[in-house]
Copies of this chain bind each other. A is one copy, B any other.
Amino acid sequence: MDCLLCRDPGGEIVWQDGSCRVVRVGGREALDYPGYCRVIWRAHVAEMTDLDLHDRRHLMAVVFATEAALRAVVGPDKVNVASLGNQVPHLHWHVIPRWRDDRNFPDAVWAPERRPAPTGRPAPAIAALHDAIVQNLAEEQGGTFA
């Protein structure tokens, strides 16, 4: 089995621990939705309900810390959170900042383009995202994952 997310980080690493990593997505998606992150479980598992309760809570804590970090650092109009895995059945979450003038709003980012993506919205720095994630995990988990 050759799995893309077993082989490759899938983006620039923002934060990681022994069980999962947060990456800042590159390429076109980074231009369309600056700050787009993925949270990727390390082990090759397909569904959230393949994880035990402890792992599930840990992964969601990281997902929501990433959501909180994006709200603090890039201040989007909305955040979209999704775990699909139809193309790559290796558990990962999309955490996507959305703006009213982005290429698909108010549709999902997987829907056809409604307009060209606006330019001039800079991608957030890795360090700023990292620090915000650490702070949010610390607040939520009493420092366990900081």
Q: Please give the residue numbers on chain A whose beta carbons come within 8 Å of chain B beta carbons, in ascending order.
A: 46-49, 53, 56-57, 60, 64, 67-68, 71, 78-87, 89, 98, 105-108, 110-112, 140
Contact = CB atoms under 8 A, between A and B. Distances in A.
Contacts of A112: 112
Main secondary structure of the interface of A (DSSP, over half): mixed
A78 B82 CA distance: 14
Given A80-B86, A82-B84, A47 B71 contact: yes
Nearest to A70: B49
Contacts of A78: 46-47, 84-86, 89
A86 B110 contact: no
23 contacts: A47-B79, A48-B67, A48-B79, A48-B81, A49-B68, A49-B79, A57-B57, A60-B60, A80-B83, A80-B84, A80-B85, A81-B82, A81-B84, A82-B82, A86-B98, A86-B106, A86-B107, A86-B108, A87-B107, A108-B108, A110-B110, A111-B111, A112-B112
A99 to B, nearest CB: 10
Contacts of A85: 78, 80
Contacts of A64: 48-49, 56
Counting chain B CB atoms within 10 Å of each CB, the highest count among A49, A56, A64, A80 belongs to A49
A81 B80 contact: no
